[in-house]
Amino acid sequence: MVWEGPDSPHRLIPRCPGGLYIAMARDDETCPEPHQQILEAMVAEAGPRATIERYDALHGWTFPERWCHDAEAAERAFRATQALFDRHVAG
């Protein structure tokens, strides 16, 4: 979600009209620490309609069939996603 250039998706976060929820894993090669910091800054700029969380879980933790599944973290992410839908879609 983060790369150099004006077309990087992270630059759209503050302009997105809907609610956003971003969940990040620790030690994630696909989203390293510098990218996580950039995403956090963009979410802060977006205001209260956007939420970002860092999970003490490995990339792929939400999938029960994966070796890295973390049931507690997956449930927390599910509840946060459901709350997003409740606020912005079902409402």
pLDDT digits (tens, 9 = 90+) for 33-87: 999 999 999 999 999 999 999 999 999 999 999 999 999 999 999 999 999 999 8
Residue 43 in contact with residue 6, Cβ under 8 Å? Answer: no
What radius of gyration, in Å, describes the C-alpha atoms of the chain? 14
> Does the predicted TM-score (pTM) go above 0.75?
yes
Alpha helices (H) in 1-91, listed in sequence order: 33-46, 71-85
